Chain A
């Protein structure tokens, strides 16, 4: 039987799409993704309603989903991250059923244990063969790793691979294997290359961000974890990536050879691999073209599934081997709980992604954040949304000093000895409030529009509507 069908519509019909089903998407094409919108538009034309959407992330490019929610095509939504555009509509109450926010590790676990039942997985693939073997390293929409799609393809009742670059059988490597694929369809374009990955990831030039990054690197230096075999993860944004810049000379000076860099991978980490600072990169998602090229060419740059990256339900995952992770925050509270879901007005503008997973796994979880953003303090009495529990967070680094989780007495002692400006977290809060004043708390009056599911499946917070 040939899996290759000529239109998306035909694939959806053959896969048996009907009202009430749950369909899934991965987010490797990020803000350049055409596939989620394409599928929902086709579903609407087919007259299908009441769909559940399980998307590993929702970006601004997916804003058409708001209309599909309004007209009843989509009635349930689960995701690990949501950009501000759709986040605003959700916070304003566009959907009756609360969104379920999971983590990058919690989602594959929920899929693999059957908590999420996917009827049809739609896998956007930068290249694929007619049998459904697919990867992200070739083709005009190359995105690199396809780690977030693996559990979906494996566990869904039906899997449809959608590609714009059809290759001869057998395509290798196969990030998605033919054994899991029911239908393959070729479309003109699965995405807009400009929105998928950036050319190169630039390190912040903001002097405050650089100051925070330098301090975070000094925290790592004196933490006791920077030894041969050191493993490290950092995000691509703001001060996080800049930590790498300052960590490099410290590793050189101390002669430390790292074992692996993990996570979303940037050219910066690729350079460190090439220069011998790390032995391997374990890559669940590529952030720029340099990372895509490296995954294609360097055998020490390894693609991992979301499950292997961060699932709490597997026998072991990469995050369990992680020494240090650098993470961001929109708010941190006196108990070190972190909010990465909602903004200062209570609107959804993010999500955990791998935040909670890496914080839980890493021996040293460092939050980097400015002490104040515009006129608002970052350290607060209680976070508006609890994304990552404070018990898994070790250090907060700001431009005016750092705070160490009181549970980590030994770490605190080492950092004080290393000459770092260690404060009690309430002192940092007071320092910020001397400038900003104490902001009024956002009202928590509305109805529940989203639930925050921790990586172990428990609901740790709810997000309420804002008028």
Chain B
């Protein structure tokens, strides 16, 4: 269950030390944009030592430099032995990129005596070309766990003006989401970049959740709780989901063909949604199982 993914610069010891205390479901240790070229090797070493010493209690994502740069292979070589849950490749533009990465991961896994295919991929899609190829990227390897939209680089690529409301990325959000769901994988939304605007963050996260995203990235620890809140079912939603499931059970017991609740027919999509809400609530340890 990944609602929130918190970016942590790979060259910041203080933040690495406390990376997993902020309540994020996953942390993204960043070797890419947060790290200047003259610090790339230092960050690799720091991230390695941090992961080994701290045994983080969250899911671990490591963001690596893009294919075609001098750092790409060095990054992979350094991070695979750390057994992260996910690698996040950057500037992913097509399926060849992911195929290349999957092959390299297999090779490095073998070299390190690790189980093959264990490390999953969350491609960061942040170019117009990447958005157009989203579905192919999603299907490029079994390792692809979810697609992640990077709206800053993407809107620059579009020559669009980036706004808090995000109308300029509506197409990309929809496209990423549709591609991910079509491939039966997860979809993660771009971070909200105004660190001090907690209200704006909550609005943006709520929009992403309403659209169907699985979760959202954060560039500040102060955004984590807002994101977690937006992507967790509310008490009313959980209560309603249990009511739906109980009504269905009752209907089956009575041999009814069609079941209604509060005067509304309960069809399959409603039941599926209720099941998902209950499942999520259980994973998150939210109340409501007394109805079971």
Contact = CB atoms under 8 A, between A and B. Distances in A.
B220 A207 contact: yes
A372 B220 CA distance: 21
B179 to A, nearest CB: 33
Interface in B53-86: 53-54
14 contacts: A205-B222, A207-B18, A207-B22, A207-B220, A207-B221, A208-B18, A208-B21, A211-B21, A211-B23, A399-B18, A399-B21, A400-B21, A434-B53, A434-B54
Please report whether the interface of chain A is mostly helix, strand, loop or mixed according to DSSP. Answer: helix
Interface string A387-411: 0000000000001100000000000
A435 B53 contact: yes
Interface in A428-443: 434-435
Interface string B201-219: 0000000000000000000
Contacts of A208: 18, 21
Contacts of A205: 222
Nearest to B53: A435
Interface in B83-124: none
Nearest to A400: B21
B71 to A, nearest CB: 27
Nearest to A372: B17
A210 interface: yes
Interface of B: 17-18, 21-23, 53-54, 220-222
B222 A207 contact: yes
Highest count of chain A CB atoms <10 Å: which of B17, B23, B53, B221: B17
Contacts of A434: 53-54
Interface residues of A, number: 10
B265 to A, nearest CB: 37
Nearest to B50: A435
Interface of A: 205, 207-208, 210-211, 372, 399-400, 434-435
Given A207-B22, A208-B21, A211-B21, A435 B222 contact: no
A210 B21 CA distance: 11
A427 to B, nearest CB: 14
A428 to B, nearest CB: 13
A89 to B, nearest CB: 31
A211 B23 CA distance: 9
A361 B53 CA distance: 40
Nearest to B223: A207
B282 to A, nearest CB: 16
A13 B148 CA distance: 78
A435 B21 contact: no
Highest count of chain B CB atoms <10 Å: which of A205, A207, A399, A400: A207
Nearest to B195: A205
Given A211-B21, A399-B18, A400-B21, A435 B221 contact: no
Given A205-B222, A399-B21, 5 more contacts: A207-B222, A208-B18, A211-B23, A211-B221, A434-B54
Contacts of A400: 21
Contact of B222 (A210, A372, A399): A210
Contacts of A210: 221-222
Contacts of A435: 17, 53-54
Contacts of B17: 372, 435
Nearest to A211: B21
A249 to B, nearest CB: 12
Nearest to B55: A434
